[in-house]
Structure 1
Amino acid sequence: MNVRRARGAAARVSGRRGEVLAALWLMLKGYRILGFRLKTPLAEIDLLAKRGPVLAVVEVKRRADLRAALEAVGFDQRDRLRRAASTLAAKRPALSGASVRLDLLALAPGRLPMHIPDAWKGD
């Protein structure tokens, strides 16, 4: 196996571990996890979670700091994620009427996970 392939495999394993940690963190905060790595024609949703009337599309990023995690998700990706979640909600009767929100769950070495609800509400 070449170095590049090994690095990619390690990144995928790390990403999956991060998503599991993020899901556990959200469940401790009262969220119900509806899906992991949901592939849609528009985007892949890391985590789909619900608490009350809010349907949270949670982007999980492992970075050195919060600012780097926020910047890692560009405007186009955020737009695709919001549209993907709205499409999913429209197809599931139990989610009709839910308010769709885009959250960030940032993971940094040696720190507790940081959940930022509606992380990019300004755009």
Structure 2
Amino acid sequence: MSGVRAERGRTARLAGRRSESLAALWLMLKGYRILGFRLRAGPAEIDILALRGRVLAVVEVKRRANIADALETVTFDQRDRLRRAGALLAARRRALADATVRLDLVALAPRRLPMHIPDAWKGG
């Protein structure tokens, strides 16, 4: 059974990377500069770190059946960890010290264009 489980894990990782690549492309089309993928900062992993102007977007990427499900998937605790991770990364990079850190969501659903939601949880 561990072989089946390992294959499911591999498939899930591959789907996640594809989703992150599509989300990054979508963000670049909107004028964002991608600074990194899957960045570890403290207890959080940031899917995509992107910059547009003075806004440093900590982007969570979720593929779900619909956009509402994607928004609900990210818990308050996870959002808090992601915000702290973004602030930590900004503080470590001199060029980002005065950037505004924001938590965004790129939601992906079957047969739909990606949806980028800036400040997806409005500070909550």
TM class, shorter-chain normalised? Answer: over 0.9
In structure 2, the partner of 1:59 is 60
In structure 1, the partner of 2:81 is 80
TM-score, normalised on structure 1? Answer: 0.97
Q: Given that residues 37 and 44 in structure 1 are in contact (C-alpha distance below 8 angstroms), is that contact kept between their aligned partners in structure 2?
A: yes
Q: Among all aligned residue pairs of Structure 1 and Structure 2, give the percentage whose two residues are the same amino acid.
A: 72
TM-score, normalised on structure 2? Answer: 0.96
Q: Aligned equivalents of 1:2 and 1:101: distance in 2?
A: 40
Q: Which whole-Å deviations, capped at 9, do the CAs of 1:45-95 have from their partners, x for residues lacking one?
A: 000000011000000000000111001100000000000000100010000
In structure 2, the partner of 1:90 is 91
Unaligned runs of at least 5 residues, structure 2: none
In structure 1, the partner of 2:19 is 18
The structural deviation recorded for 1:2 is 2.1
The structural deviation recorded for 1:42 is 2.3
Structure 2 residue 63 is matched with structure 1 residue 31 = no
Structure 2 residue 9 is matched with structure 1 residue 8 = yes
Q: Which amino acid aligns with 1:85?
A: G
Q: Given that residues 43 and 80 in structure 1 are in contact (C-alpha distance below 8 angstroms), is that contact kept between their aligned partners in structure 2?
A: yes
Question: How large is the RMSD of aligned CA atoms in angstroms?
Answer: 0.9
Q: Which amino acid aligns with 1:92?
A: R
SS in structure 1 of the partner of residue 31 of structure 2: coil
Unaligned runs of at least 5 residues, structure 1: none
Q: Aligned equivalents of 2:53 and 2:32: distance in 1?
A: 8
